[in-house]
Structure 1
Amino acid sequence: MDHVRNGMSAADLGAHGWSKPWSDDAGGACVEAMKLPDGRVALRQSTDPGGPALIYNRREIESFIQGTKAGAADFLLQP
């Protein structure tokens, strides 16, 4: 896992292990997530599986999820 870095091609992480915990009604475009063996999480755009992967450590992804649950991102949904 030493070669895993933020912005690398998601295809380099392999085709298996990706899941779609979030999806939309806009033609199947969604964020896909993969838990890496070292505990980090990779995110990619489903419509561009070979595009860049965003890599987050456990603390970062935990903070994101907790903040979202608490409403910290609600401003993104407001017009």
Structure 2
Amino acid sequence: MKPWAPNAAVAAPIEITSLNVQRGDVIQIGGMPCRVADLQQLPLGAKRLLFETGEQLTMHPRTRLVALRVHRRW
């Protein structure tokens, strides 16, 4: 995970599903923050999240998680 650098960005917690998860979202799994590096669409609306650290997580359509999303301000 890249170190935090001060800039004009605001991080906010949001609820995500397989429909609105995005690259760059940070999800805490087992007490460890994991940043989504890539997404793969799976059958029946599921998505496989690939994290920067190499781990993977499959989100089914009804899975709901809280993630930290960075909103950049210009």
**TM-score class normalised by the smaller sequence:** 0.3 to 0.5
Q: Which has the higher contact order (CA 8 A, sep 6+)?
A: 2
Higher strand share: 2
After TM superposition, the score normalised by the length of structure 2 is 0.34
Higher helix share: 1
